[in-house]
Chains A and B, each alone.
Chain A
């Protein structure tokens, strides 16, 4: 199999398979959650409950200063790699082109040098996250195989994408194929690792906000 064949497989069959597993996995995980149901709360809510869940989905991205002051390394590193990752994923011109070819629509890209810098920041951020995880007593204590697997799965697409773009290490075609395969690996594992939080975070924040809002508490 030539590099080109591998790339074609990765962009075609491989991607379809990975997306299939990803979608089925996410549906399963959400089914596992929602099928458990929730008892209605019979106590009289305070006014302001209605939107509390939705508001919390947004507001929980911004920690309150009195909470964040002890934890800013985690908060800052978290921002860097999440923002860097999503900028690279969603605003890199070739990614949007690929999306446009498949879905028929797209959106404007950010300047490539900016995306490049953000991707690098995300990579460095992730490396520091690992270092911090190994150094911080609580994080080290909580960590299990899932955490290191999730970290690897997140880093690989960023790293291989960065190397493909800069023509590092491997021939471009092969590196591009490896990059796409790493994305597929991420898609396949995402629903079954802690990375599932990309979806369930909305559910959790909504429930949290709904319960606080019911009592009229600050979200």
Chain B
């Protein structure tokens, strides 16, 4: 598929809907969204104002979807969107937006800017202005099933390793299981202990589950880059496997964008509801705990804090669950300033961490997280997203901080009460 300006502008027309038109109408240029966005607050550069990132899309709206704009175009008073302009906007739309959603909850007139950036990326990708790193990740996902190029045999080797390490058999392709576990590429490559932890928890709780040798990869770079047909293929792979195995639920892993892609975008991409439910692993663990099926023993005394992943908390509604789980295994859990639904992004969501061009800006923007962590005075940070975790670890290293990190599922598994069958 060759990308052209015309395709890009057509994609802009394609995504134009009533919410977007209403948002552009309503903006009063108050600038408040700038103060919600870490890329502005940490650089002070006005060009990182969230609503400004949408100028080319706004131009198309004004010129083609308002009477006054159409009149102005007729008498030659408006400038068409150009390739050069889109090229200039590419860093704004991809490097300086993690789709974190803070601006969306800040804007006083109610503009869902995050929604619009997502939509605008479709036109940017179609016109060939997506960054190389993200395009590469998407190509790999299509060709090999995963943005990091993880092959089924690599995944299955990790499954075997974790099986051996925990001494628990991990079911593969087991039809009729209740839950299908998928993982983000970051987890498969960097944090495979997630799978071992789940195996131990599920054994104790008596959960019937399986992994799939066909659909193991939850990361959807098609969505991050803004190419719907690729995003659809990636989701379809999971849907096919889940429906073939006949599972009741697919468990979204500790990865924010994977959760968004599967839970909220998937059915819209494939054009129908799923025949199974989607549950985030933290929701499931909290449910199991409440039902008395997940029991822990002891607590860590080490002071720790929580980084709320944007897509799971602010944009996913999973706010209380991580806190319930942490309080179960930690005696000194300290919240960060602005925690919960108003937390600051790690700086690497929405495809930014896969985008090398954005690296310097990402480290600069990490300063807000640095201040938040330092404010808590703790040396251990928990999170529930493998991508956040990786980005945070890089940020910590960049600033020579010695904060350690762990995933919630892993931490919970550490304090699992060993159920010796009586």
Contact = CB atoms under 8 A, between A and B. Distances in A.
B88 to A, nearest CB: 15
A136 B21 contact: no
A200 B25 contact: yes
Nearest to B319: A218
5 contacts: A60-B109, A138-B31, A142-B31, A206-B110, A208-B110
Interface string B25-36: 111111110111
Interface stretch (A14-22, A159-167, A191-199): A191-199
Contacts of A36: 16-18, 20-21, 65
Interface stretch (B47-55, B166-174, B196-204): B47-55
B29 A43 contact: no
A66 B342 contact: yes
Place the interface of chain A in its size category. 35 or more
Interface of A: 28-29, 32-39, 41-44, 46, 56-57, 60-61, 63-64, 66-67, 70-71, 74-75, 78, 136-144, 146-147, 192, 194, 196-197, 200-201, 203-209, 211-212, 214-219
**Residue of A33, A56, A146 with highest tally of chain B CB at under 10 A:** A33
Given A141-B46, A207-B22, A67 B106 contact: yes
Given A36-B17, A206-B110, A212 B30 contact: no
A14 B208 CA distance: 75
A218 B30 CA distance: 23
Contacts of B36: 67
A201 B110 contact: yes
Given A28-B67, A211-B19, 18 more contacts: A33-B21, A34-B18, A38-B17, A39-B17, A67-B342, A78-B108, A138-B46, A141-B46, A142-B49, A142-B51, A142-B52, A196-B25, A200-B22, A205-B110, A207-B23, A217-B314, A218-B314, A218-B319
A43 B30 CA distance: 33
Contacts of A143: 29
Interface residues of B, number: 62
B104 interface: yes
Contacts of B67: 28, 32
Contacts of B28: 194, 197
A204 B314 contact: no
Given A207-B19, A207-B112, A64 B47 contact: no
B267 interface: yes
Contact of B65 (A32, A63, A138, A215): A32
B375 interface: no
A218 to B, nearest CB: 4
Nearest to B29: A142
B342 A70 contact: no
Contacts, number: 171
Contacts of B32: 71, 74-75
A56 B109 CA distance: 10
Given A43-B265, A67-B342, A142-B51, A201 B109 contact: yes
A74 B31 contact: yes
A152 to B, nearest CB: 15
A18 to B, nearest CB: 18
Nearest to B337: A66
Contacts of A41: 264, 268
A215 B25 CA distance: 25
Nearest to B52: A142
Contacts of A141: 46-47, 49, 52
**Residue of B22, B32, B263 with highest tally of chain A CB at under 10 A:** B22
A95 B108 CA distance: 29
Nearest to B33: A138
Given A139-B29, A203-B26, A215 B110 contact: no
Contacts of A147: 29
A145 to B, nearest CB: 11
